[in-house]
Copies of this chain bind each other. A is one copy, B any other.
Amino acid sequence: MSNISQEDYLTAIYRNLDEAGEIKPNILASKLDISNAAVTDMLRKLSRDGFVDYQKYKSVRLTNEGELYAKNMLRRHRLWEVFLNQTLGMPWDKIHDEAEKLEHSSSDELINRLEKFLKYPSIDPHGYPIPDKNGKIKKTKSVKAITEFNINDHLIVIRVNDDVKNLISYITKIGITLGKKILIKDKLEYDSSIILMIGNKEINISYKIASNIFAEKIKR
């Protein structure tokens, strides 16, 4: 394919499929931050090229080929993130944007060599699993957004959505990283925000932010 935009569309589609494995052009447009009209346009091209199943006014699904392509893009993206963070020491809130470009500029051979050099990591620096060269993704711990836990639950942060502008910079500032232990102190009714104990600090985060931080319950 060799096309930056198309590749980003496929990844965005894959990452935002609903429970039925579909996505509305609508959603896609807002995730990609472009107009609905542009999405319609591109969907016709992606359909023509066999990457999506698409009919006017209907939701979109990926074909097998489209899904494989999307997973390969995630593989490239996440391996680059590991490299940038682990090998080059670039901070975890800067690597996503960088990988967003590199993912389109690397052959499979390069990626396979990179994977070997990195010793076959299974997750990226934000906690997302890295597909293998056949598109297979290791089963991961079942995590839930921290909005779904209860008051007084002790949690350990397992994953953070890397796809939301400035989110990672923000949560870094309030002291959250992967593996951090936090406590749900309170859940406010009127705006659905959540009060967390992080270290010895109480911090109020919005529902929106909380829904992009994924964790696991721990004993204490």
Contacts and interface: CB of A to CB of B under 8 A. Distances in A.
Nearest to A107: B98
Interface string A105-119: 111011001100100
Interface residues of A, number: 18
Interface string A96-130: 00100110111101100110010000000000000
B90 A110 contact: yes
Contacts of A89: 113
Interface in A82-96: 84, 87-90, 94
A78 to B, nearest CB: 16
Contacts of A88: 110, 113-114, 117
Given A104-B105, A105-B104, A105-B105, A113 B90 contact: yes
A183 to B, nearest CB: 36
User: In the complex, which of the residues A94, A107, A110 has the most CB atoms of chain B within 10 Å of its own CB atom?
Assistant: A110
Nearest to A97: B107
A138 to B, nearest CB: 24
Contacts of A101: 105-106
A65 to B, nearest CB: 23
Contacts of A110: 84, 88, 90, 98
Contacts of A114: 88
Nearest to A2: B101
A73 to B, nearest CB: 14
Interface string A49-89: 00000000000000000000000000000000000100111
12 contacts: A84-B110, A87-B117, A88-B110, A88-B113, A88-B117, A90-B113, A98-B106, A98-B107, A101-B106, A102-B102, A102-B105, A104-B105
Interface of A: 84, 87-90, 94, 98, 101-102, 104-107, 109-110, 113-114, 117
